[in-house]
Amino acid sequence: MEPVCVADYEELAERTLEPGAFGYYAGGAGDEQALAGNVEAWRRLRLRPRVLVDVTEVSTATTVLGTPVSMPLLVAPTAIQRLAHPDGEPGMARAAAAAGTVMCLSTLATATLEQVAAAAPDGARWLQLYVFRDRGVTRSLVDQAVEHGYGAIVLTVDAPRLGRRERDLRSGFRVPEEITVPSVAATGRWAGATPLELLGAIDSSLTWGTLEELRSMSPLPFVLKGIQTAEDAALACEHGVDAIVVSNHGGRQLDAVAPTADLLPEVVEAVAGRLEVYVDGGVRRGGDVVKALALGARAALAGRAPLWGLACAGAAGAERVLELMRNELELALALCGCTSPEQVSRAHVSELHNP
Ligand X SMILES: Cc1cc2nc3c(=O)[nH]c(=O)nc-3n(C[C@H](O)[C@H](O)[C@H](O)COP(=O)(O)O)c2cc1C
Residues that bind ligand X (CB under 6 A): 24-25, 38, 76-79, 106, 108, 128, 156, 225, 247, 249-250, 252, 280-283, 302-304
d(CA 130, CA 202): 7
d(CA 1, CA 234): 48
Minimum Å gap between C-beta 250 and ligand X is 3
* Residue ranges in the chain assigned as alpha helix (H): 6-16, 19-26, 33-44, 88-99, 113-119, 135-147, 166-171, 182-186, 195-198, 211-215, 230-238, 260-271, 286-294, 304-335
Minimum Å gap between C-beta 78 and ligand X is 4
Give DSSP secondary structure letters for 207-222.
-GGGHHHHHTT-SS-E
Q: Which amino acid is at 97?
A: A
Q: Hey, which residues are catalytic here?
A: 249
Q: Are strands 153-156 and 222-227 parallel, antiparallel or unpaired?
A: parallel
Minimum Å gap between C-beta 307 and ligand X is 6
Nearer to ligand X, 70 or 110 (CB): 110
Nearer to ligand X, 123 or 250 (CB): 250
Minimum Å gap between C-beta 195 and ligand X is 9
Give DSSP secondary structure letters for 48-95.
----S---SS----EEETTEEESSSEEEPP-S-GGGT-TTHHHHHHHH
Nearer to ligand X, 288 or 330 (CB): 288
Minimum Å gap between C-beta 53 and ligand X is 30
* Alpha-carbon torsion angle 277, 94, 177, 166, nearest 10: 40
Closest residue (Cβ) to ligand X? Answer: 303
Burial bucket for residue 272 (CB in 10 Å: 0-12, 13-18, 19+): exposed
Nearer to ligand X, 150 or 338 (CB): 150
Calculate helix-pair angle for 33-44, 260-271, nearest 10 degrees.
70
Nearer to ligand X, 58 or 321 (CB): 321
